[in-house]
Each structure stands twice: as structure tokens, then as C-alpha cells.
Chains A and B, each alone.
Chain A
């Protein structure tokens, strides 16, 4: 029980305490104290009616005690007094706001992407340093140091604990969404826990910023992609969309994702995440309406011009205009380093009756994920039989794995 509350309420509690104490480390300590007390007392005394409120109040009292104990100078006395008189109501009323502030602090652009991700998972997600280290395949001391250094920068450089002013909000929001999507991508293929955490953070953002369509777009995108999670790996190998057992799709996620996409459409303030969600919504409603997919890619290309987005658009174009037209577009792209560029070329060449072997080899040379490499090797082995439709799904699958945080690189 305490564990559930911990996962759900840790970020909220740390946010409130950070405001009260003006320091993230002190806030974390106080909240951890409170949870430790809960572990001792709840089993015997029962869970309080408002577990989150109990944790926050207890953490605050702990912080007051600690400050009093440690009070040497006048300043800390004053701080303790201030805390003691802090009216309860304000705490509760400001909770949502507090979490939002903490998110913007964790994702401040002066912090590196890795630090942003680690802080967000630690402070808002309530993950332990060990869990984050495991998720990102780095030794725990490395992750611990990364977090300590980031917190040190927040304190020393005075990274503000504040929701950015309107003029800065669009850029700052982009950074926050990129962090959440990065967490999702890190987990979508084989680490369901991280993907779930990203979706949970996405829901928090949607709750805190309900008027930002891109926030809902990101949530919809993650739900739709995650809906196919159970269907997309079989015996460690990747299963292409049209081969997937649709009964394994998560119907709730599909329904919620599609509903959110419809809501975004009504809003009519499109953005990269909403468009990618819309493309995934089309795929979630088979057979895929490729004309609609191309139209959505046209919008996405206009909004976030990038060769990767253009590559995915070309794949859809092969379905509406044929492989010749698609190949013309693909060959014009400067993407030699990207394995999917070569994989897409291979399939288009094959459909045109030309030899795809060299392109498949080039793709294999550049692919990194074992499951991707297996799929390419298998194709090389059989050399043929694959339509570009397969490739589209393959592209969808793999592109999301791209770890760059920029939304334009996450086109489906």
C-alpha cells in the first residue's frame, strides 16, 4: 500500500515540499522520512483517509523538526517558523501548480537531456536512482553522480522553480514533452515499465496543462503506440503491423488514443505530436487509409521539415503513387547514416524488380537494436516477398525507437 502511494504521490509531495523548503534535496529527504514513517505506522494504525495529504503534512513536520534541530543561525529559525505557520489550505490548493513548476525545473534547457530525463524520473516519477540506472543501462554510481550534479546546478545556478512566462512557454513545453517522449521511446520496445511511466507522466501533464493540444497529442501518440506493444514482439522478434494478432492490441489504449486524436482535431491547433498521433490512429483502424496518412505527413513535413519525416512520408507515398515515385523522393534524401533509409530503399527496389541486396546490407551495417538486426538478416536471407506496406510498419516500429528528443525525428 505504501509502495502504491509512493509511486503515485512522491512527485506531488516533493513538489510541495520544494516550494516550502526552497531546496530539492531537503524536500526529497523530508518526503522520504515521511514515507519511512508511513511504512512503520500504516500497517498498525491503518492507512489515513488522505494518504497524500498525510505524507505531505508529515514531511513538512519532519522538515520543521529537522530545521529546528539544525538551526544554528537566525535564518534557519526563521525558515522553521515560517513553515510552522504555513496555512494548510494553501498547500493543498497549490499542489498541481507545484508539480508543474518542478517539471519545468527538471526539464530546464540549461540541463543536458540525460540530466533532464534522470531528474524527471527521480523527482516526479518517484523512481529510485538504481531503477533509473538499470533502465538506461548505466552503472548506478554514474547515474547517482549525474543526478547529484544536476541538482547541484539547479541550486548553484538558481534554476527557477517556476512555470515559464507565456513568451517562453512554447519552447519550454517542447523540452518537457521531448523528455517524456524520450522516456517512452527508451521503453516502448522491451521495457514496458518505462513506457508506462512515460504515459503516467503524460497524463500528469495533460491534467496540469489541459489547454495545450500538443500535451494531449503526445499522450494520444504514446497510448496508440503502446496499444500494439503486446502484439509487436514474438519470441524476441519484431512482428510487423499487418502480421500482428490484433486481439493482443490493448483496446482501451486504442479507444482512448483515438478519442484524444478526435479531440485534437476539433481543437484545430495541429502540432507534431498530434499529427504523429493522428497517423498512428489511422494505422490503428485497419486497413490503413494511405491517402490520409500521406495527407497527415504533408502537414508534418510542412511543420517540421526533416529528412526523416520525408522518408516516412515517401513510404506512405509508395502506397498511393507507387514505388517509383517513392524511390525518387527517397533517393533525394541525405540520410546515408540512417539504417531505415537503406531498408526503405531495399523494399522499394524490390517492388520495382531490382536487386535490393546492397541496400539491405547497408541497412544491416547501420542498425543497432538486436531485434532490428534480426529482421534485416531474415530479409537478406529470404531476399524478397516484402511489400512496402511491411516496411511502413517496420519504419513505424523502429523510428519510435530513435532516441533523439526532437519531435520531428519521431514521425511514425
Chain B
């Protein structure tokens, strides 16, 4: 029985790095995803558009209030995430460590998925 974990990638708001920087990073990321797939750990992975493209909805009575996103006004937002399955936290953290290495200096949050 395995446990699924959400590996959230936190990145500072602002422009993405230039292609010559981003290129090798994305190649390394794809290689890591490939390795996760080969080991049966990979479940799902996405990158997201910038937080300025987000829209927030909140129900209030019968109405749904709509505001320009993102939800939190921090300086960092989730830029993408990977869902993996692992035996235990140590195994998940090992993948998280690898992801943090590829995406340095971004922070990776490892969080167990319920159910």
C-alpha cells in the first residue's frame, strides 16, 4: 500500500528566467519526471501560469463572489506541482529533495494526500 504526496513548487512572483536559464532546468525536470515514471512513483505533474492569471471564487449565500487572483497576497505562489506515490515519508522526501535540487533555489512542500 502506498501513500500519495503532493510536491508543491513555490516560486517567487515575477518574470520567469530567460530561456537559456530555463531550458536546462526544464530538461532536468523532464529527466526527473521520467525517472519517477520508471520507478512507478510518478502520478501527475503540472506547471502553472503565473498567479496574476488566477481568479478567486467564494460563495456567499446564493451569490458567488469573484475577485482577481491569486488567493493569497504573498511574494511566492505555487508554480506547479507533482503528485507522487511512495512507501513512506522518507521515500517521498527523497523525491522532494531531488526536485528541490533540479529547481534550486525554489522551495518544495511535501504534503500527504488524504485518502
Contact = CB atoms under 8 A, between A and B. Distances in A.
B15 interface: no
A338 B57 CA distance: 50
Interface string B75-109: 00000000000011110110000000000000000
A160 B110 CA distance: 15
A158 B93 contact: no
Interface string A162-192: 1010001000000000000000000000000
A137 interface: no
B88 A156 contact: no
B55 interface: no
B90 A160 contact: yes
Contact residues on B (Cβ < 8 Å of other chain), bracket: 10 to 19
Contacts of B88: 158-160, 162
Interface residues of A, number: 10
Nearest to B1: A158
Interface of B: 3, 5, 87-90, 92-93, 110-112, 114
Given A157-B92, A157-B112, 11 more contacts: A110-B93, A156-B114, A157-B3, A157-B5, A157-B110, A157-B111, A158-B3, A158-B92, A159-B90, A160-B90, A162-B90
Contacts of B112: 156-158
A355 B82 CA distance: 62
A168 B93 CA distance: 12
**Which of B3, B5, B88, B90 has the most chain A CB atoms closer than 10 A to its own CB?**
B90
A164 B88 CA distance: 12
Closest 7 CB pairs of A and B: A160-B88, A158-B88, A157-B112, A157-B89, A159-B89, A158-B3, A156-B112
Interface string A130-164: 00000000000000000000000000111110101
Contacts of B90: 159-160, 162, 164, 168
